[in-house]
Amino acid sequence: MWSDERSVRFEGRHYRLAGVKPGPRPVHDMGIWLGVGRKRTLGLVGRAADGWVPSSGWATPDKLADMHARIDEAAVTAGRDPAQIRRVYNVWGLIDGPGGFLNGSARQWVDELTELAVYRGMDTFVFGPSADPVPQSQRFANEIAPVVRQQVAQQRHD
């Protein structure tokens, strides 16, 4: 659908298209990102996707190593470099929350996100506050993100 053709025709197993006008062509490459967590779909991430987007609610830190391993194994088998697959973690919680994973002080958030980046293979975070979205997002952007960037850079340099 992003071709320079005047019309597109497709005959697939489940769907057909005929006479569809494509466009407009994207101004940049379009990535395929999957937010999946089962064995087969993690293999699909490794074989074909540009990125993996799990959420902290179901892909808890203790599960990440096995999930990364499945992605990496499938990537290598497909002749891909696993390091080229982005790992984006949706994180949900509350800064200065009641305690627990991603529910504590700003310092706790910095430490936990730094660990996720340095030791658990995640390279990007998407923050979803569990309450007070505007002030929580402002705090995340101003107090958490810059310190995490700095700590990750420092720990990777050492």
pLDDT per residue, tens digit, the chain (158 aa), is 777 778 888 899 999 988 888 888 888 888 999 999 999 999 999 999 999 999 999 999 999 999 999 999 999 999 999 999 999 999 999 999 999 999 999 999 999 999 999 999 999 999 999 999 999 999 999 999 999 999 999 998 87
Confidence (pLDDT) at 5: 79
What the block records as the tokens of 33 is 């990102």
pTM: 0.85
Radius of gyration of the chain (CA): 19
CB atoms within 10 A of CB 63: 13
In CATH, what number does 31-157 get?
A: 3.20.20.30
**Neighbouring residues of 2: CB distance < 8 A, sequence distance ≥ 6:** 22, 23, 25, 26, 30
pLDDT of amino acid 158: 76
Closest CA to 125 of 76, 70, 40, 56: 56
What's the pLDDT at 26? 81
Contact 86, 120 (CB under 8 A): no
Q: Per-residue DSSP letters for the chain?
A: --SS-SSEEEE-SS-EEEEEPP-PPPSSPPP-EE---SHHHHHHHHHH-SEE--BTTTS-HHHHHHHHHHHHHHHHHTT--GGGSEEEEEEEE-TT-SSSTT-S-HHHHHHHHHHHHHTS---EEEEEESS-HHHHHHHIIIIIHHHHHHHHHHHHH-
Identify the residue whose tokens are 């999946």.
36
Locate the domains of the chain by residue range.
Answer: 1-28, 31-157
